[in-house]
């Protein structure tokens, strides 16, 4: 086993410890990737804070990009030196969900043992199938997508989660068609990508709802046609006025119960709420079912934008290279691995779009 640096969580709601860990070589069907960049997602923070439980010690991080540095047996389509995006989406390819085109909800249980150990040889959990807060990862072939060398890794890593989740929620989960109207609640990293997805899909009106004017200003830069402060009394009224009707889709990108409580208020008859943001376990919202039933409305969860990564990631990379998908402007801070706790603290302020850890950077 080789020794690498990683940021390890030993206790929930405590600083991560940057230390040496052990990483085994890729086995059959696995790929080793030397990372150039990994972004910090709010899901990483929620796990590290103990919001969803989990096994410790653990290495979090799941929005990654780098270069293939080794391949195991029976790996096709990838070779050493390839530029890749690494995702948390591990799919068997043959269960009912995978076979029906929904690999993000693969039903095959994952093996409990992973490729990581602590420096003294004890078990170390590879969180979210990735363990990307580390210099290298070993992951299943199904999690890796080959990309063009022309896209910078600091931009490419964003596609691994935040971009596919936001764009996919609109294009795949909502199935938004040209001319329809959409409300995006939350103008953070995922919300900005949902706004981009709506713009790319040809939405007529794209209404961004957030708590601060600063984030709403950024939302307009990404394609929002109208903005509404969530702090207003009954903010859905301003959104309905801007659209002239209810929304065909409401994309909830924040894990905040008040956002879920109010989301159906923005809907048109026949519209749907797409549930993307993830509150902590145990939190609940309430609705009046008769209204949804009478108006033919619906609510549906969307995990990772319902993407098929081998199909959707190359498409999004190409949109970026054409200048039609903004990625560079999503990056609000660049940090070294030894600065990860500072980067997390900055992310927790709510002001950051995406903070990115860059490897092999000068101090």
Q: In what order do the strands lie in the sheet with 181-185?
A: 226-229, 205-210, 181-185, 247-252, 267-275, 298-301
- Two tokens, residue 104: 């993000």
**Contact between residue 346 and residue 333 where contact means Cβ atoms under 8 Å apart:** yes
- Using alpha carbons, list the distances in angstroms from residue 163 to 98, 159, 193: 21, 5, 5
Residue 256: half-sphere exposure toward Cβ, Cα within 13 Å:
17
CA proximity to 7, closest of 51, 64, 53, 52: 64
From CA 251, how far away is CA 174, in angstroms rounded?
Answer: 8
Contact (Cβ atoms closer than 8 angstroms) between residue 170 and residue 249: yes
What mean pLDDT, rounded, does the chain reach? 95
Phi/psi for 51 (5° steps) reads: -65, -25
Domains, the chain: 2-160+306-358 (3.90.180.10), 175-301 (3.40.50.720)
Q: Residue 93 forms beta bridges with which residues?
A: none
Q: Would strands 17-23 and 2-8 be described as parallel, antiparallel, or unpaired? A: antiparallel
Q: Are the beta carbons of 297 and 291 closer than 8 angstroms?
A: yes
Measured between alpha carbons, how far is residue 18 from residues 153, 156, 241, 301 in Å? 22, 24, 51, 35
The torsion region of residue 45 among left (phi > 0), alpha (psi -120 to 50) and beta comes to alpha
CA-wise closest residue to 258 among 290, 235, 225: 235
In order along its 363 residues, the chain shows pLDDT tens digits of: 899 999 999 999 999 999 999 999 999 999 999 999 999 998 999 999 998 888 999 999 999 999 999 999 999 999 999 999 999 999 999 999 999 999 999 999 887 779 999 999 999 999 999 999 999 999 999 999 999 999 999 999 999 999 999 999 999 999 999 999 999 999 998 999 999 999 999 999 999 999 999 999 999 999 999 999 999 999 999 999 999 999 999 999 999 999 999 999 999 999 999 999 998 889 999 989 999 999 999 999 999 999 999 999 999 999 999 999 999 999 999 999 999 999 999 999 887 889 999 997 655
- DSSP character at residue 336: -
pLDDT in tens, 273-293: 999 999 888 999 998 999 999
- Cα(284)–Cα(286) distance, rounded to whole angstroms? 7
The Cα–Cα gap between 198 and 245 comes to: 17
State the pTM of this model.
0.93
- pLDDT tens, position by position, 101-116: 999 999 998 877 799 9
Burial of 109 (0-12, 13-18, 19+ CB in 10 A): exposed
The residues facing 17 across adjacent strands are: 8
């Amino acid at each position: 086993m080789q020794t690498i640096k990683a940021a390890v969580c030993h206790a929930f709601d405590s600083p991560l410890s940057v230390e040496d860990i052990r990483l085994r070589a890729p086995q059959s069907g696995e790929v080793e990737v030397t990372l150039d960049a990994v972004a910090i997602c709010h899901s990483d923070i929620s796990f590290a804070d103990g919001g969803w439980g989990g096994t410790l010690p653990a290495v979090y991080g799941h929005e990654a990009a780098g270069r293939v540095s080794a391949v195991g047996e029976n790996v096709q389509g990838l070779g050493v030196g390839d530029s890749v995006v690494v995702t948390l989406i591990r799919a068997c390819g043959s269960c009912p969900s995978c076979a029906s085109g929904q690999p993000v909800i693969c039903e095959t249980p994952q093996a409990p043992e992973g490729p990581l150990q602590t420096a003294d040889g004890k078990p170390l959990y590879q969180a979210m199938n990735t363990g990307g807060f580390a210099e290298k990862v070993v992951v299943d072939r199904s999690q890796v997508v080959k990309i063009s060398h022309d896209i910078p890794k600091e931009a490419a890593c964003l596609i691994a989660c935040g971009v596919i989740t936001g764009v996919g929620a609109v294009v795949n989960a909502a199935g938004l068609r040209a001319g329809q109207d959409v409300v995006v609640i939350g103008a953070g990293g995922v919300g900005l990508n949902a706004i981009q997805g709506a713009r790319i899909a040809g939405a007529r009106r794209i209404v961004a709802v957030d708590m601060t004017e600063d984030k709403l200003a950024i939302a307009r830069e990404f394609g929002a046609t109208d903005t509404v402060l969530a702090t207003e009394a009954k903010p859905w009224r301003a959104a309905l006025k801007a659209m002239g009707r209810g929304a065909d889709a409401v994309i909830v990108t924040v894990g905040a119960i008040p956002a879920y409580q109010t989301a159906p208020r923005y809907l048109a008859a026949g519209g749907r709420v797409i549930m993307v943001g993830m509150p902590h376990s145990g939190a609940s919202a309430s609705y009046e079912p008769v209204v949804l039933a009478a108006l033919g409305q619906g609510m549906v969860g969307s995990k990772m934008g319902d993407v098929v990564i081998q199909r959707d990631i190359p498409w999004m990379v190409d949109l970026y290279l054409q200048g039609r998908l903004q990625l560079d402007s999503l990056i609000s801070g660049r940090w070294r691995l030894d600065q990860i706790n500072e980067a997390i603290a900055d992310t927790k302020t709510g002001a950051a779009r995406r903070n990115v850890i860059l490897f092999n950077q000068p101090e």
